[in-house]
Structure 1
Amino acid sequence: MKKLTKKQLGLIAAVVVLGVGGTYAYTQNQSSVKASEAKQEVKATMEKLEDLNKEVATLYDKKDPDFLVKGIKAKQITDLQEKETQVATIKKDKELSKKDYAAYEQEVKSVKGNLTSATKKLDALVDINSLFQQTQTAVAINGSDVKKDLAIVDDLKKETVEKVSKAFFKEGATKTYDKTINELLANAENQLNQIDKAKSEVAKVYKDGKVVSTDNKLYDTAKTETDKVKNEKAKKALNDQLDKVKADMDKKAAEEAKGQEEIKQENGTPQQQAKTPEDRETLEATQTLQEQTDQGQTTTDYTGLGGAPGTGDYVPQGGNGNPQPQAPQAQTPPPAGGNGRGEMTQDDLNQASKDAATSDPTKDPNSPWFKP
């Protein structure tokens, strides 16, 4: 093989150098193009994420961004979550530094955070609204509109309220949204406590399917606590039991009234009890004397008892010279009769004596002179 001259070797070396340099330059140019394209992709993705964040913002109430928008649906959030997954997924180019991706990653974090917050708020809204009775026009919380006077749903369990409270109650809340959530949870718990309290009071008068007490005070307390219950189903169940108690109370009162009436009819009035003419005359005389005594108009003459005639005064003297109280002797008009000459017969005197004894005010329980 013929040796190459120095000139030939120089030419070959020059060709090799040119080839390597050209390849390197080409490679460098390609890397620069690829990096530029990667940056353009990052920029385009960031723009899409910014637009997506604007869509996420529409999930929140304009009056108070802490609340979700009125009438929000779960699909609105899930659609945006799927869109975020598609938009934010890009393949990082090794030609770009962490700094080149910093802004992109911050925007992705913002979108995901807002969607996560919206999801949690929607979960709270659904769970809390499920504690209260709803209509087409009234729910416990809808956007920033809140109804704090709704009754809890039928047959709500305390365990359910505790579970929701554990998930969404915020200790030391300062924001309006967090305070609202706390108040609604407390409202549901208070209503359950009121039902328990009413049940406890009703059990004092009605238990195990029967009336156990007709005490008016216990009934009134149970009725008062039952009236505070907002849930109509729970209130009706308690009122049905109280109605049975009230029926027994009314029945008992009617029986007592009837018994009193029967006793009254059996005993009759004092006039009805005076069966003979003599009894009636005695009763009338006693009543007349009582009326005069009550009016201070008695005319009993206590002459000889230490009093002045016609004054009703008397100052009886005891064995030791001291005044001693003695019962006055009521004067009884002499009965009509006689022997036709204006004189009283022995029978008339006997009857007068009998009448005076029976009309003695000291023996009359209704007389101020009565002595047992």
Structure 2
Amino acid sequence: MKTALVIGTGLIGTSAALALARRGVTVHLADHDTEQVRTAAALGAGTGEPPEGSVDLCVVAVPPTYVAATLADAMRRGAARGYLDVASVKGGPHRELEAMGDLDLTAYIGTHPMSGRERSGPLAASADLFEGRPWVLTPTRDTDTHVLNLALELVAQCRAVPVVMDADAHDRAVALVSHMPHLVSSMVAARLENAEETAVRLCGQGIRDVTRIAASDPRMWIDILSANPGPVADLLADVATDLESAVTALRELQSADESKRRDGATGVESMLRRGNAGQARVPGKHGTAPTVYEVVAVLIDDQPGQLAHIFADAERAGVNVEDVRIEHATGRQAGLVQLMVEPRAAAQLAVALRERGWSLRQQ
């Protein structure tokens, strides 16, 4: 791939363009918002000048609602030798293109990089946004091998991991692992909108984890959900059934009848255990089977260099920190750093950190 046209200079389009440009591909940028094109170009993502003739690959990075029309326009004017989109839904756009009847769909492949951020627009873009992340490819029996290879080259240039799926299977999967969780996160966050300030001040890491994705742009999510409403609605119906069961069980726990309280406890325990089982299936580090780590919690001051010193001391102790979380203290310039390590290394790290003057907390 020597030349590419990226249509849509938001977060995903600009990030892909930055990755390609960094690796020597001549990238042309297009967007209905000329200001976004100028911003992306200024970041080094490519040029806002139109290409002379066809490029090797056209990447369509517009909202799902506009994918089919944008692709059709590019294909009819022969903008490229291969075409792909990066929308978060795949089945609908492909069916729209088929319905048009006058397009050579051998030159097209649907794709979806499983990466993003709460922020949108070119200023949120990064050349390494996709590094190590799954990038779904949905070829059909008609997809030309050359086009599939171009898509694989794009994935490789972005240092992502290719995953081949059927388009409709992809849409059901992202409804489960992305779209439905986003709505549930928003529903939980909505409970905080009119909550008393004294309650909100008690927010800890748990509520931050659950509501983090609720900070995303609603307009972007309306586009996503409008393109995949059926599978998301089916999953939410299942969640609603579980919620009804949970409400019934909790009401039973309030009962004066001991038998009902036992039933309620059993119902709540069943729900929690199902949650344990589901969470245990979430892939762990580097996509491998999940690993249970032990937490070494360290109290630190909110000052420059504190984290660097902790990591340096962990290195001196010969311990690899697998993951890290920070819980900030309320009303104090301090926080609790939770270092996740292999269980066999936890005691070794705790001893080393104490010897170097760190204050540890029991978890």
**1 or 2 for the larger relative contact order (CA 8 Å, sep ≥6)?**
2
Q: Same fold (TM over 0.5)?
A: no
Q: TM-score band (shorter)? A: under 0.3
Structure 2 length-normalised TM: 0.24
TM-score (normalizing by structure 1): 0.23
Compare the two structures and name the one with the higher strand fraction. 2
